[in-house]
Amino acid sequence: MTEEEYLELIEGKLETAIKNIQHEMKLNDRDIAQLQELYWENNSDFDEYGYEEYENRQQMFNHANFRSRNMKTLHMYRRMQDSPYFARVDFLFDGDDEPECCYIGIGNFAEGKGTLPLIYDWRAPISSLFYDYDAGRASYEAPGGTVEGEIVKKYQYKIKKGKLLYAVESDIKIDDDILKQALSMNADARLKNIVGTIQKEQNSIIRNEKDKILIVQGGAGSGKTSVALHRIAYLLYRHRDDLMASQVLILSPNDVFSDYISHILPELGEENISEMTFDDFAAKELSDVCRIERHYDFLEDVLIHEESDPEYARARQDKLSARSSKEYAEAINGFVFSLEYELMDFKDIKYKKLEKDADSIADLFYNKLPDIPLFRRMDAVREYIVDEYTTLTGHELDDIEAAIVKDKFNALYRTRDIFTIYNEFLESIGQEPIGIVEGQPKKAGYEDVYAMLYLKYLLYGAGHEEQIKHLLVDEMQDYSYIQYCIIGWVFKCPMTILGDKEQSLDSEKSDVLNFLPEILGKDSKRIVLNKSYRSTVEITDYAAAIAGIKGIDGIDRHGNKPEKHMYATESEMYAAIGNKISDELSANVYETIAVLCKTQAEAEYVGDKILENIRETEEDEESFKVTVLNKNTDRFKTGVVVAPYYLAKGLEFDSVHIVNADKEHYHSDYHRQLLYIGATRALHALDFYGTGEECELLP
């Protein structure tokens, strides 16, 4: 049977399977309708004990579950119709005479229960043979133990819309030409799945189940985020009996990035999972204390003031660095210890017949219950005394009495206001307290947000997010020591943490790998990805030269060298950018074009200038539309995008244009980091534009 004939056979079987599922769903829907009708006609006659009603509800529940499972399978089969499989491994099991042909796709497909799959899910144990071995001796870990044998042949396929574009016998893991072809494709509005091109080192991360904390340090374009999301899909597949998508949480840098990656898991056959920024989490946790400044607004404020008031900008950066450090956390620890006595004002408690003297209360507080957080401890003391009172008198306090007694015990604290206590801490270390404007809500600057939350958790204890069973932290380099302490307190589950220390948005780069094991425990594993798959060799080398990085290994995919364009005036610069983008749009070779700059304010201005200079075309009315990303943007679109660096992190574009890349605007080590982040967003083309003197940070 030829490859084309086999594909036609599989497409036919998929079509039959889809029709069978649709038929089953119609019958199931009919049964649901009959049960509903039966319920409304007879519910008044159900037995008094509720057995019949319970049985009816249980049947409805079972039918609903059946429909949900069939919908998921139907969605998968329809996706597989476009490309049923992308690889094949001919594996000769030890003891067998003939090899078994194992086709591999994005999902599992068998003609019936108990039959061998015609297509294996890429996450199945046997599929690891394709990613981990060349032809020759090989093995994989199955539920029953290690399975050994020999890979006789390996094939890779490109199938689109049910048509075979090519079938290649491959002696190596992932054929270089095929990988380069996949990487040379244009960027989309969404992150692509990489199941057909997963590399061996990536596969080891995806299938790692033994390490509770997996830390992935990888350079720009190394596939960190894709690998992490495929890892989540793999874990959901492998542990489907005790891990659900709703129990996985992604801490992502912003809403645009969340949208950019949102479709990956559904595309791989899993439900979408929850995502949030850490600032959203902090805002919720401090909602009863004050309003908070977000990281976005902090960066915007600092970058705007870099030129107009550099001392102010530097002071804010230094303050953030200091108030995020281990030393600052230790200072807060010491302050909270001093509050054990300074915050308390013990007095006799008397309410009706409930009486307790101050010394007895203090003895319970300090000697009987010392391990309970300070602001939770008085609740425990009160409960102890009320239980004692109830035992002796036989009288239980009603709700009103209990509330009055609680207020009396809480009044033994000098204050319970976290904002006030944090200001007292600042004064204790010789720092200015946070100002309060009369008539306006209290607000904490970003440099104080997580230190304040850290203080609150020390005083109240941190609530555990028990429903979360796996946490994925992206852009790990942008989290501080104190933030990781908070993460460690709140999330006790396995974690996948990934990032690149060279892409830090802080003014001072720090390697979080130096302190992560201390905070999250020793049972963590660090994996480094040194190979870049995103950009051409020319762009990868240029970006590395900006950051002064060596040892980056890229794919041998070539393109034009990055170019610097200098002009005498701003108007000439924007005219040149407009012409270049117009040419790219007219040629219709790129799906995504980015114009990157420092701040949101600059992005708005640049967006207007780009609009003025892009040539409008009758053929494509959308070609001259420009999207300016901001903190409220929650959708990533193709076309021309203007954005500050901090909103472009994690995204990739076919062509990147960096504006104002001259000596006046870029001259510090921090600017070097921004330029590196911008340069590493580009897949195929990278251009820098400036006025006046050339930027000395660029090669």
Whether residue 91 contacts residue 153, with contact meaning beta carbons closer than 8 Å, is answered with: no
pLDDT tens-digit series, residues 598-613: 999 999 999 999 988 8
Q: For residues 549, 555, 557 and 562, what is the CA-based torsion angle, rounded to 10 degrees?
A: -10
Query: In angstroms, how far apart are the furthest CA atoms of the chain?
Result: 93
pLDDT recorded at residue 1: 82
Q: How far is CA 269 from CA 169, 236, 492, in A?
A: 27, 10, 27
pLDDT above 60: residue 624: no
Name the pLDDT band for 70 (thresholds 50, 70, 90).
confident
pLDDT above 80: residue 240: yes
> Of the candidates 146, 456, 427, which has an alpha carbon nearest to the alpha carbon of residue 281?
456
Work out the number of other CB atoms within 10 angstroms of the CB of residue 321: 16
Mind spelling out the 3-state secondary structure of 103-131? EEECCCECCCCCCCCCEEECCCHHHHHHH
pLDDT recorded at residue 175: 42
Backbone phi, psi, residue 398, to 5°: -80, 180
| Of 507 and 200, the one with more pLDDT | 200
Mean pLDDT within 372-394: 94
Whether residue 511 contacts residue 480, with contact meaning beta carbons closer than 8 Å, is answered with: no
pLDDT above 80: residue 190: no
| Of 522 and 527, the one with more pLDDT | 527
Placement of tokens 């897949």 in the chain: 683
> Of the candidates 479, 520, 491, 503, which has an alpha carbon nearest to the alpha carbon of residue 278?
479
Taking the complete model, does pTM exceed 0.75, yes or no?
A: yes
pLDDT tens-digit series, residues 242-270: 898 889 999 988 877 777 677 677 667 67
| Of 174 and 251, the one with more pLDDT | 251
DSSP-based three-state secondary structure for 652: coil
pLDDT recorded at residue 45: 59
Tell me whether strands 100-105 and 87-93 are parallel, antiparallel or unpaired.
antiparallel
Most confident of 162-176, 237-251, 376-390: 376-390
pLDDT tens-digit series, residues 419-452: 999 999 999 999 999 999 888 999 999 999 999 9
pLDDT recorded at residue 172: 47
- Dihedral of alpha carbons 4, 6, 12, 14, sign: negative
Mean pLDDT within 565-574: 96
Contacts of 364 (CB under 8 A, 6+ apart): 381, 384, 385
Q: Which tokens hold the place of 323?
A: 């108030």
Whether residue 683 contacts residue 666, with contact meaning beta carbons closer than 8 Å, is answered with: no
Most confident of 526-530, 631-635, 673-677: 673-677
Q: Alpha helix locations (H) across 461-536?
A: 481-490, 516-520
pLDDT tens-digit series, residues 108-153: 999 888 888 999 999 999 999 988 888 899 999 998 899 999 999 9
Q: How many residues does the chain have?
A: 699
pLDDT recorded at residue 507: 64
| Of 348 and 230, the one with more pLDDT | 348
pLDDT above 80: residue 13: yes
Name the pLDDT band for 545 (thresholds 50, 70, 90).
very high
Q: How far is CA 570 from CA 80, 152, 566, 597, in A?
A: 51, 63, 10, 14
pLDDT recorded at residue 54: 65
The DSSP code sequence of 359-428 is HHHHHIIIIISTTS-HHHHHHHHHHHHHHHHHHHH-----HHHHHHHHHHHHTTBS---HHHHHHHHHHH
Q: Which tokens hold the place of 309?
A: 């008031």
Q: What is the mean pLDDT of the chain?
A: 88
DSSP-based three-state secondary structure for 216: strand
Contacts of 163 (CB under 8 A, 6+ apart): none
pLDDT recorded at residue 184: 53
> pLDDT above 90 covers what percent of the chain?
57
